[in-house]
Structure 1
């Protein structure tokens, strides 16, 4: 079995972030900017501009995500961080109407994007990335983590839509489904600490 490890996306791992994002799907062109920009901003930016935005995030702290490695090779990515820093969330009707958490609460984190290189799919990297994202959020003081996964039990799902993650992966990690705002989509949450701590 290959050795799977995860590391924070820090400045010294920038090349690894790019390798993880470039192995299939929309990662190379999106640069994980979809949830940090509004529709208009995303449409106005080029791939190079999005790459520079992500580079600035990686250079700052906390890291905007984690990298999965398979036998030392960068193989996957997950975005995790304060929900307030992912501005599209507050503009997405499905989330706004379905979340029980106040949109301005900085103690709520969100997991919004997974990317796994084609040659490493089927190894359970999303589950490993999710486990590490939970750990990072807990260590960083998050109270709750939310995510917006796809329910893959409803039939065939285009692989590019799976960047949200699969509902089964989140449920297996202890998340609870808090809303089902439309067919095939869910809002899930994991409480890390009580509100008065």
Structure 2
């Protein structure tokens, strides 16, 4: 499938575009893509402004380097965001069942990257943009030398709707389309999907 979305590394110069995607209210705006990265303990006590400050610092990695955050555009319109980085950078996952339950994985293996967070701008949702973002995240991880890439999507129970605030971790379809396959089910609603690169 050909990508409709142009996906590029997020930089400090694109800060206004990042915030356009995140919006002025809702879970994505309030999180600023920090909860999984910082962990609940640190994240919970920060204001939105402090979380945004952390994010802006994370984007400012210097010339020729990448933070792992990617922005998607339709034409010139910023429409999506995806975070992908070495799994070791995400504090919240170190103490969680996701991604470790039932697996003998080295928590310090920086060669395994994780796709942790998606955002699609209000007005552009339900158009399949998460598929383009997932494919771009896998390719970005490969280009940066990742040995494998994982995602931790949510799966609704039959007949259950997923709230948009929950779907920020992704759903299985976009990961499967990007070549990831299920390797475990750490909880009733979460999956671990992985692709060796």
Among 158, 168, 187, the alignment partner of 1:182 is: 187
Flag structure 2 segments of 5+ consecutive residues without an equivalent: none
Does 1:37 find its partner at 2:38?
yes
Deviation at 1:122, TM superposition (A): 2.0
Query: Which residue does 2:89 correspond to in 1?
Result: 85
Deviation at 1:22, TM superposition (A): 1.3
Does 1:121 find its partner at 2:125?
yes
1:55 aligns to what SS in structure 2? helix
Q: Deviations over 1:9-64 (max 9, x none)?
A: 11221211111111664111100001111222111211111000000010114223
Q: Is the 8 A contact 2:36 2:91 kept in 1?
A: yes
Query: Which residue does 1:8 correspond to in 2?
Result: 9
Query: Which residue does 1:165 correspond to in 2?
Result: 170
Flag structure 1 segments of 5+ consecutive residues without an equivalent: 193-197
Does 1:110 find its partner at 2:114?
yes
Does 1:48 find its partner at 2:49?
yes
Q: Distance in 2 between matches of 1:175 and 1:86?
A: 20
Q: Deviations over 1:100-137 (max 9, x none)?
A: 43110010100011011120012221111111111110
- Greater mean deviation of Cα atoms: 116-125 or 105-114: 116-125
Q: Deviations over 1:155-190 (max 9, x none)?
A: 321221110101122112211101011212100101
- Greater mean deviation of Cα atoms: 20-29 or 74-83: 20-29
Q: Deviations over 1:50-98 (max 9, x none)?
A: 0000000101142231111122111111110011111111111232224
How many residue pairs align between the two structures?
191
1:88 aligns to what SS in structure 2? helix
Query: Which residue does 1:97 correspond to in 2?
Result: 101
Query: Which residue does 1:26 correspond to in 2?
Result: 27
Question: TM-score, normalized by length of structure 2?
Answer: 0.90
Q: Is the 8 A contact 1:174 1:190 kept in 2?
A: yes
Cα distance, 1:41–1:134 mapped onto 2, change above 3 Å: same
Q: Distance in 1 between matches of 2:122 and 2:78?
A: 12
